[in-house]
Structure 1
Amino acid sequence: MIKEEEKEDTPLFKDAPAKTRFDVIIMAVGVVIVGATLRAPITSVGPVILEITEQLSLTPVLVGLITTIPLMSFALLSVLAPKAAKRIGLEKLLLYSMLVLAFGLLVRSVGNVFLLFIGAALIGAAITIGNVLMPAFIKKEFPNKVGLITGFYLVSMNLTSALAVGFSISIGQSTGLGWKASIGIWGVLALIAFLIWLPQIKQRSGVESESTSRLSSKALWKSRLAWQISILMGLQSFFFYTLAAWLPAALQSWGMSAESSGWMLSYIQMGQLPIMLIGPIVAGKMKDQTSLMWITFILLLLGLLGIIIWKTEFIIISVILIGVSLGLAYTLVTMFFILRTKHSSESANLSGMAQSVGYLIAATGPPLFGALYSLTNNWYVPFALLLVAAVFLLTSGLASSKDRYVS
């Protein structure tokens, strides 16, 4: 019978036998490669969306579903991923998700409307597993290097995301396969991730007791801190998806060309990259991340005010400030999955809860912003909504930054 104090520290998966330096390197490379597959399958669609629409004769509603289906998968399935991990095994589930992702990317690229959406659903489900479980894996396998490994993980995720946007059209043109290659090529990376991840299933051992799992999961949804982290997750995603949907349109209405306005989204992503490497390392060495949250808010506020007041005049500076801010916000919320939990099962459950709640919040952003623009016929009111959301992001972020646990 397990003593109460021992039960507190029981992880989702018990420690594996001592690992060699080679094992650790392979694990780290696996984390980076899996991370590289978690955004590109979605961001690669945007540049070729018109080509897909024309070839498959899609209505505007169906076009929206191509990207909405994966996001809804994040919201609806995230909370289920930790439960599946307890039954199947964290490493095995991550391994299977790479196969599902590769298959989903293949199916989505066939050129059939029905299969386009089946593929999108499979892609959404596979990415959900990686999103939710990778922070728990990092906490379990790299307890003394969570900041460094999380930094590599986040950078690989966002670097391939930016590359997918930049090279999507050229990939289709160079292969002669058009949009099918543009959005399907990332299946090769998913298969590489599968092969590199194979050694991890040999490291898996026993699972946490059912009583501890139920207690942790039940207590989590009653935790005020868990809800604050979930709101923070939702608001940083709210900003990203709202700006991705509407910033180019606003800039074009102020006289910027369509091509240049699209590059502003790339600048946001490029602004995120350095902070996603440095941020986790710095945050991991701090007990209280309040100062980092204030930096996040100030940069976001300056970027938004730059757009509202000067429109396109200082737009590059403004979007880079927003990019650094959102990159730091995402870094912090990812680190909170690790720093605010005592063991890997709590980390997985918190990640699942935060991403379920968070993506539901994020999904309201683009339609709400658009509705305000339609009602007022100007951009100041919807951008004022973002200023209000920034205050709530600061409030939830400060509450999440204090040195304590969700249970």
Structure 2
Amino acid sequence: MSSAPDKSATSPSLAQAHASRGAALVLLGISLMLIAFNLRPVFSSLSVLLPEIIRHTGLSSANAGYLTTLPVLCLGLFAPLAPGLAQRYGMERTLLGMLVLLAAGTALRGQGSISGLFIGSALAGAGIAVGNVLLPALVKRDFAGHTAGMMGLYTMALCGGAAAAAAFTLPLAHAMGDSWTAALAVWALPAAVVALVWAPQSLGSRGTRPRAPARRVRGLTRDPLAWQVTLFMGLQSALAYCVMGWLAPILRDRGLSGVTAGLVVSVSILIQVVVSLLVPPLAVRCKDQRLFNAALSAIAGLALLGLLFAPLSMVWMWAVIQGVGQGGLFAAALTVIVLRSPDSHVAAHLSGMAQSVGYVLAAIGPLLVGLLHGWTGSYSATSWLFIALSIGSGVNGWFAGRNRHVRIAAAAPKPTAP
């Protein structure tokens, strides 16, 4: 004679399973935010120490421009490799390798030689490129019901890491005997710690689970709207990396102390955190995003001119305004990628195009700042660069903000022969 299921036995086990899954998702979410925190200190930590590095190594302004450009260039060059690596090794294990590479490259920059600075920056940039691509993909895969909230936290963590490095790198250098090498290398420690936290999660079965065959998207590079989205992403990124790479040296050249200049950059980046959370919900409620994108480009460019020429008594005001413009641009560029795509598969490919091509284009910004300073001996000439980048961003943002989709469709992969 059969008996009814013992609910008293199954219910607790079911509850325990739900609690276990919830705890695992919380740990995963915290881990992803910690990884994101480590994706930007490489840029802003170098910026605040650039005058000391130039003084102690004899690096010219032009070569300093190459140094600030190198990791940004690597973002574009190595981003296309991330999907293939994730397909072969799993996203979790690929991210673990990225953290190890990032920690090693950051530590190498503190070795003290010019070659160590360049090689370490390239290694760190390559690791960050992989993280830029895979972290949003993990958020979409494992937090499908909370994508907007997790992407907001992801953006906050990115900006938080950049702001922390801008604010604390120079005080750390002073605390460690005015050692710029130690202050650069110290940012390898959080990356190494997060790698240890991430390792148990990446080496389990989750890290190698198979993925569904990718749907093919062809002809994206022949679509004008896709290029307008890509150029909008690239030109606004060029402005952002000019800020992260050169704003602190510009302010120090104008007479601010190193610590104060770092704090100004940090405040500007922290403002970006708040604005980047507010812009997407506002942008999607508009019929299109043309005025939104153009206005934010104008605000970011105008604020950089204010930081370059306005009285130093107004520097904090212009830093806040620049944070509003730049944070809004970053969020708007990510938003139009989604809005201009007819489905998630096209969105993934459009995002890859915008990041790979866009970051290669973005590398031109900090490079030209260094070259212009080397040629003229002044940062005043960079005003024309900031104007050109903001106009280019505004024009492409206007066209990318039109209410239409790229004319590309994702096709199912051809079945393989048995």
TM-score bracket for the superposition, by shorter chain length: 0.7 to 0.9
Per-residue deviation, residues 50-81 of structure 1 (Å, max 9, x unmatched): 44445555455554443232122112222232
**Structure 1 residues 323-342: aligned runs within 5 Å:** 323-338=323-338, 340-341=340-341
CA distance in 2, matches of 1:246, 1:336: 28
In structure 1, the partner of 2:210 is: 206
In structure 2, the partner of 1:101 is: 102
Task: Report the alpha carbon displacement of residue 103 of structure 1 after superposing the two structures with TM.
Answer: 1.9
Contact 1:82 1:345 in 2 (8 A): no
Task: With the length of structure 2 as denominator, give the TM-score of the two structures.
Answer: 0.77
CA distance in 2, matches of 1:405, 1:161: 33
In structure 2, the partner of 1:230 is: 230
CA distance in 2, matches of 1:69, 1:271: 26
- Specify the SS of the correspondent of 1:221: helix
Task: Report the alpha carbon displacement of residue 302 of structure 1 after superposing the two structures with TM.
Answer: 5.4
Task: Report the alpha carbon displacement of residue 379 of structure 1 after superposing the two structures with TM.
Answer: 7.8
Contact 1:135 1:337 in 2 (8 A): no
In structure 1, the partner of 2:21 is: 20
In structure 2, the partner of 1:277 is: 277
Contact 1:107 1:116 in 2 (8 A): yes
In structure 2, the partner of 1:353 is: 353
**Structure 1 residues 2-401: aligned runs within 5 Å:** 20-53=21-54, 55-56=56-57, 58=59, 60=61, 62-176=63-177, 178-197=179-198, 198-199=200-201, 202-204=205-207, 205-209=209-213, 212=215, 215-216=216-217, 218-243=218-243, 256-257=255-256, 259=258, 263-280=263-280, 282=282, 288-290=288-290, 292-293=292-293, 295-297=295-297, 299-300=299-300, 303=303, 312=312, 314-338=314-338, 340-341=340-341, 346-366=346-366, 368=368, 383=383, 386-401=386-401
CA distance in 2, matches of 1:46, 1:372: 17
CA distance in 2, matches of 1:52, 1:385: 24
Task: Report the alpha carbon displacement of residue 390 of structure 1 after superposing the two structures with TM.
Answer: 2.8
Q: Decide whether aligned partners of structure 1 residues 72 and 284 sit closer, same or farther in structure 2, where only a CA change above 3 A counts.
A: same
CA distance in 1, matches of 2:272, 2:351: 21
Contact 1:139 1:344 in 2 (8 A): no
Contact 2:69 2:366 in 1 (8 A): no
Q: Decide whether aligned partners of structure 1 residues 79 and 225 sit closer, same or farther in structure 2, where only a CA change above 3 A counts.
A: farther
Per-residue deviation, residues 308-342 of structure 1 (Å, max 9, x unmatched): 88555644323321211111111222344455556
Q: Decide whether aligned partners of structure 1 residues 287 and 93 sit closer, same or farther in structure 2, where only a CA change above 3 A counts.
A: farther
Q: Which one is further off, 344-353 or 328-337? A: 344-353
Q: Which one is further off, 69-78 or 320-329? A: 69-78
Task: Report the alpha carbon displacement of residue 36 of structure 1 after superposing the two structures with TM.
Answer: 0.3
Per-residue deviation, residues 122-159 of structure 1 (Å, max 9, x unmatched): 11110111112222222222233222111111111111
Aligned length: 386
Q: Decide whether aligned partners of structure 1 residues 341 and 21 sit closer, same or farther in structure 2, where only a CA change above 3 A counts.
A: farther
In structure 1, the partner of 2:8 is: none
Per-residue deviation, residues 247-280 of structure 1 (Å, max 9, x unmatched): 5676678x65455556543342232121133334
Contact 1:151 1:278 in 2 (8 A): no
Per-residue deviation, residues 187-227 of structure 1 (Å, max 9, x unmatched): 221123223434256335322325x2xx22x3332333332
| Alignment gaps of 5+ in structure 1 | 1-16
- Specify the SS of the correspondent of 2:210: coil
Q: Decide whether aligned partners of structure 1 residues 376 and 110 sit closer, same or farther in structure 2, where only a CA change above 3 A counts.
A: closer
Aligned-pair Cα RMSD in Å: 3.7
CA distance in 2, matches of 1:328, 1:157: 14
CA distance in 2, matches of 1:376, 1:173: 31
Per-residue deviation, residues 9-42 of structure 1 (Å, max 9, x unmatched): xxxxxxxx99822222122112211110001122
Task: With the length of structure 1 as denominator, give the TM-score of the two structures.
Answer: 0.79
| Alignment gaps of 5+ in structure 2 | 1-16, 409-418
- Specify the SS of the correspondent of 2:145: coil
Q: Which one is further off, 384-393 or 348-357? A: 384-393
What one-letter code is carried by the residue in structure 1 that aligns with 2:332?
L
Q: Decide whether aligned partners of structure 1 residues 49 and 70 sit closer, same or farther in structure 2, where only a CA change above 3 A counts.
A: same
CA distance in 1, matches of 2:249, 2:186: 29
In structure 2, the partner of 1:3 is: none
CA distance in 2, matches of 1:151, 1:164: 20
| Structure of larger gyration radius | 2
Q: Decide whether aligned partners of structure 1 residues 95 and 71 sit closer, same or farther in structure 2, where only a CA change above 3 A counts.
A: same
What one-letter code is carried by the residue in structure 1 that aligns with 2:293?
M
CA distance in 1, matches of 2:101, 2:128: 9
CA distance in 2, matches of 1:316, 1:295: 21
CA distance in 1, matches of 2:285, 2:268: 26
